[in-house]
Structure formats: structure tokens, C-alpha cells
Structure 1
């Protein structure tokens, strides 16, 4: 067994660090090493437990109710509010959509109205649950257009959506106005606060002006807020809150139509792992309100310093001034964000490139954590050096032969042979013809950026299909 553990450690050494404040996407670091250690112990303690049946593991019921209660206080929930701990933001969002659909079974062709900047999880939910997404354009600051959203709501609309903030650009939609519009139309409004809710809740308490976004807004009927983002808990924990038990009830599933135990599920999962729940509970209990206030100060203080520092770096600028902890940058025509991202990685920083969207240029996305504050000067120095390096080589261009192949492809007709040819041309097939992970991503990201959304989706699905293949020893 020690050999397997050694190999596990070797494998993990290939990954981006989850602590240290330098990975500015996918992970969120409080910098509280002792809390992280205790949370890991809690995950291990509950690794074998199953929340499927509260009578078998009543401690999980207690922890879930206490976590939901803590979250209710953060989002100004009324006394009637209830909630459910889920495996992550996507599951919270999917349950919100499924519940809204099933609460209105008389609507034969349900629709969902959402700003075009809403998280892709809503489109996933729409595809899974047969709810037609009605995407509404946003303004120049990437915020939802209230009039357009209201106009799009119809008798078939089962849910409207707002972001607090939107992931791509880090801005909060005008939720007070959207709540009023949804209320007037008789449409439930879900606020996706998965990434921002836990920190927005403390922003006003530390003296920062925050836009209205929570249950204090009439018309808001449900909110999703992740624990494993700015709650800084181990991965696998989010909360979906509803204004009333009646709003939540359609998300539950029960079946006695088989000879086994009567299945009753509060989430999309049946087996509900105890580890993430215990890790989340211990983290929240350990940090508490005062601790989260300090973490919010650190995180938002880091954002302020990064925003100020970006102004001094020629070649990049803010896509929009952030409302919370997410920063999006654009590059001028002397360089591209894809090369900047690679150069940042060379300097020990992971940042996330985002593609061209609706005529807007690609952006560089930073999810800032509390642990980044002591490293802001290093981050800005690395960014300045990365921009200079990207300017030296100039913007990456797609090879003409690859571009010719791209223009010949149709997403709905993409074949294995087409994809093999593209892999070979892009140098991603490796010596054995099997798909590989490149060390630098700029060439690949430029190729994907040139593909357009539909073809990009098809290419990435085909690529992942090639990456995830069994290894037989």
C-alpha cells in the first residue's frame, strides 16, 4: 500500500497547487492551514458515511441543518426559508431549474429566461430537463437588461435567472429591478450566487457598498451559494436555498415502485457522501462570522490592489470593474491573453483564459482568494513580465493549414477521421496517435477561439473522449 501512496503523491505533483494563493481558477484558498488540516480530517472521518438515510447517520442531518441555518443568516432569508446541501454549484442550479419546472406541470413547453452571461450550468439544466433557455442580451458592462428580461418572460416561463456575480466578468446583475419585474410577471427568480454569495454577504459589513442581491429583494425565490468557493471548504459542497418549503418540495424525489427500500432523495444524488458535508461543517464552524469578515477584507483588498496594479501595465486593461472577487482582463493588439496565461504559468501562476464572446475580445480570468493578498506584488510583477513576453512574440495566429481544416468542419458532422486529422495538424496526437495534454496552451486556445462556440464544443467533447480512455495494467 505504501507503494500506491507514493505513486499517488507522484501523480499529484503534476497538478496545480490547491494552496498558496497562486492558482487563480478552480480552487479557493483561505490561507488558514490549521482549518484546512482539520477539515481534511473531518472529510476522512466521514468518508464512509451516506446521507441517503438520516436515520442511519443522524449526525449528517444535524450538520446539514446547521450549515443551511448559517447560510440563511448570510442571505437575509425569511423565517420560512429552507435549504439543501448539494455536491456543488452545478447540482444546486440543476435542482433549481428542475424544481421550477416540476412546480408548474401544467406548462407543456417550459422556458427559462436568463441573461446571456448566466453560467453554462443553466444550459446544462435546460438540456437535461427539457426547459427551453431564452437568452437575453446584456449591456456594455455585461449586466442583465431589465427591460429585455421582463419582455422575455411569458406565460410559459417557469424561472428567471440573475447572477451575483456572473462568473466570466465578475459583475452583479440589477437584481432589485429583476425581482420587481419577475414579481410583476408572476415568475420565480433564482439568484446564482454560487461563486459570490459567501463573500458578497460580508462586503457590506466591512464597509463596501454592495448591490441588493439576496432574499431582501422581493421576487427572489431561490439562491444557490457554494461552500467550496468563498466558504473555503473542501470540494463537493454547495447550498440551494428556497424562500419556502413549498418552493423546495418539487426538488425532492421519492419512489416506492420497486421491492427494495423506499427511495427518497433530497438531491440528484442518492448516495450522498458524508465527507464533503463534514469538511464544510467543520470549516464554517472553525472560521465563523468574524473569520469570514477577515477573509473578505483580505480577498477584496487583494482585488483592489490588482485592479490598481493593472492600470500601470501597458498592454492589458480591465474588461469591466469587478463587483466582487472575480477580475477579467483584456489585452490590446500588441499581445493576446492566451500567451499571457502561458507565461503566467511559467512563473508559477495559474490564470484562466476565456474565449471571444458576442464580439467581445478574449479575456483573462482571475478568481482571487484571501491567500493571494500577501502575494499581490509578486502577481503583478509576474503579470507585467508575462505581458512583456507576450508582446515580444506578438499575438499567436492559427496555422493556415489548421485554419483550412477548421473551416471545412461542421460540428454536427464531425467524424473521428476529421478529428484525427486536426489532432495531427495541431501536434496533439503524440507518438502513438493518442491525444495528449500540451504543456503550453496558447496555440490550442487560439485554435479553439477561431472555431466558434458550436465547433468548439464538438472539438472539446471529442478531445475529452480521447483523453479519458482506460489504462489496463
Structure 2
């Protein structure tokens, strides 16, 4: 399709777009139950639109925006049990995990065939990172309850291990690996310890405030070197906004890239991308100030209330069950008989439910994001009961 010689009116373009995008799913419909993203907070949207021209790929031109990023990273670092934490916003958890994997590899140039130990539940971004960086992933198996087999994890650590990864909010079920036990394994070693809390990072800090008991997962575990957490998930920030949070500033100084030709001057950074949005940083700084601890806590409270509601309803349906008791606002549905969930997922999609299918673990994932209302869950439970009966699971 060739570019138009003469442009169209703004009104006409909007009409065309409304028509072209009409079949896109909308969070407000309630049918999106498998996504870890949601509608960005309206205030974050407003602030982002005002400052979207900021480019932190050249921070020397936007020094005050760069300072806001430092402040925001420091504040998030404290939320994660640390002090003096450094890092930056990224395009998302995948880039943050790639950065962490590169750090693990490049800190140990003495290892000719670097390996990183991860749980089988680790996000696909670690497979991508290993492929790009020439790292061998050694994957620790899970137990029948989907928790990490910590003994198998330990057995995979050897002289080629440059890094280990623990998950704080697994992609499939929102479970938290035994971060303290992994930390003890790497005590007095030169193995880099990264925690992937892309989803859990903006859920877990608020759960103890609501009376939930959760395992230690963050910089409070002294061996943890870095954490991934995504403001564009439960932080309700605009997309794209992930984050890499690092305990030691020396890492940036030793392993950072330099770009000497920038208009704003040279600087050290760990990013994979060049041009980097500053608007997402400004919007999340503003959102944290606007919501405060109580605002985020109230959002988590509502999500957890809906999670418990859905859990109770699933337990009433013969033929399906919870794959595990939910620790946060993620739950998994599997079959009581052990039969594949593929047909269940297929039929639910015919009822317009957009879910997450994990064939490897034989479960369907539901993420109770802020856009999910109890009325949406009531409709889902009704359809789930119908489908379970129709395909003979009960």
C-alpha cells in the first residue's frame, strides 16, 4: 500500500481507525482474564501524554527527567527492602532479564562456558536471553505442587555457574520461589543472584500490609543482586515500562555501555535499546505520588478479594480444580482427572474468554487484574460450568 499523496482529515482517520480496530479485545469487556497488563491509570496516561517527548536514551538533554528516574528507582528499591538501589526503567521484564543475564555472564570472564540455573517455571525471556548471550540454561524441575524442587536446583550449580535466578510471582501461578534458600546456596561465591518479580514486584510489598504471610523475596535477602519488576503490570503505568533494580552501582560502572556521540554527552548505561521513553518514568513517578502506599494497597486488596471469590467458585465445580492455592492475584485451573486442558481452553475461547494456556503444566491461568470485576467473574463461572459439562469433565 502506497503512502497517500494528500493527507486525510483527522476526523476521517479516527473513523477509519475505529473501524479497523473494532475487533480488538477491550479490557473493559471483562473477557480478558489471562493478561498481566491492564488499562493504565488515567492520571498516568495524562502525565505520559504531556511528557512523552522526553528521551532518556540521551539523558544529558533531559537531566531533570534523569533525576526523576533516579528518585523513582530509589523509592522502588526501598519498597523492595533495599537502600541505595540503582537501575533504570526498561521496555519490560524481558529486557530487564536480558540485562541481568548479561551482567551474570560478563562479571565472570573466567568462565568459558557460562551457565545460569533457573526454575522450570522461569519466563521465556530467559530462554531468549540465553540464546542471544551464548549462555546454557540449566532448568530445575518443579514438584507436583508446582513449587521449585530446591534440592534439584542446588544440584545444578557447578563451576560454570555464573548466575542463578529465583522467581517472585511465577508466570503460570504467581508462586514465589524459596529466595532465602537460593541465597544461602550462593553465599561466599561469585555467582550473580537475580530475582524476576516482573509481576510480583508491585503486588508482594503490599500483601503483608493486608495480613498475608509471604516468604522473603527481595533485597531483604542479602544475597539478592538484582530484581526485575514491571510498572506496566500491577503498577498500572503506561506501556512500555519495565524496570531493572540493582544493588551495586559498581556494576553499571564496570559493565555499562558508552555512547560518546550523544548530543547531551556520554554516559554509562546497561540498556539494550538506544532511544528510551522518559514519559513512562515521569508518569510512574507521578502515579506513585498520587496513589501513595494506601492507593496501591487498596487496589491489591480489591484484586485479592476477587481472587478469593473466584477460587471459592471453582472449588464448587466438579471436574476442575485449582492447580495451586493462589498466593497473589493469579490462579490456575486444571482438570481433576488429569485430562488435558486444551479442549477446556478451546471451548472457553469460543465463549470469548481470553485466558493463558500452559500445556507444560496442564493448567489455564487467570490473572485478576484491576479491570476484572466480580460481575465478569460471575459470567466466567457460569460459562465454565457449562463447558465442563459439555465436554464431559464432570
Q: TM-score, normalised by structure 2?
A: 0.89
CA contact (8 A) 1:302 1:370 kept: no
Name stretches of at least 5 consecutive residues in structure 2 with no aligned partner: 1-9
Cα gap change, 1:40 to 1:381, in 2 (>3 Å):
closer
Deviations 1:253-308 (A, max 9, x none): 115599x9757544111111233323323322221111011111111121111111
The equivalent of 1:143 in structure 2 is: 147
Residue 319 (structure 1) aligned with residue 323 (structure 2)? yes
Name stretches of at least 5 consecutive residues in structure 1 with no aligned partner: 396-473
Structure 1: 4+ residue segments shifted above 6 A: none
The equivalent of 1:123 in structure 2 is: 127
Aligned length: 384
Residue 23 (structure 1) aligned with residue 32 (structure 2)? yes
Residue 76 (structure 1) aligned with residue 91 (structure 2)? no
- Trace 1:246-285 onto structure 2 (pairs within 5 A): 246-250=250-254, 252-256=256-260, 264-285=268-289
What is the CA distance between 1:58 and its match in structure 2?
2.1
What is the CA distance between 1:335 and its match in structure 2?
7.7
Secondary structure of the 1:76 match is coil
Secondary structure of the 1:226 match is coil
What is the CA distance between 1:195 and its match in structure 2?
0.6
- Trace 1:54-203 onto structure 2 (pairs within 5 A): 54-77=59-82, 79-203=83-207
What is the CA distance between 1:386 and its match in structure 2?
3.0
Cα gap change, 1:263 to 1:289, in 2 (>3 Å):
closer
What is the CA distance between 1:44 and its match in structure 2?
2.0
Residues of 2 paired with 1:240 and 1:197: CA distance? 11
What is the CA distance between 1:187 and its match in structure 2?
1.8
CA RMSD of aligned residues (A): 2.6
Secondary structure of the 1:55 match is helix
What is the CA distance between 1:174 and its match in structure 2?
0.9
Secondary structure of the 1:177 match is helix
- Trace 1:395-414 onto structure 2 (pairs within 5 A): none
CA contact (8 A) 1:316 1:387 kept: no
Residues of 2 paired with 1:273 and 1:289: CA distance? 25
Residue 331 (structure 1) aligned with residue 326 (structure 2)? no
Residues of 2 paired with 1:333 and 1:271: CA distance? 51
What is the CA distance between 1:26 and its match in structure 2?
2.8
Bigger share in helix: 1
Q: TM-score, normalised by structure 1?
A: 0.75
CA contact (8 A) 2:196 2:228 kept: yes
Residues of 2 paired with 1:24 and 1:90: CA distance? 21
* Higher RCO structure, 1 or 2 (CA under 8 Å, sep 6+): 2
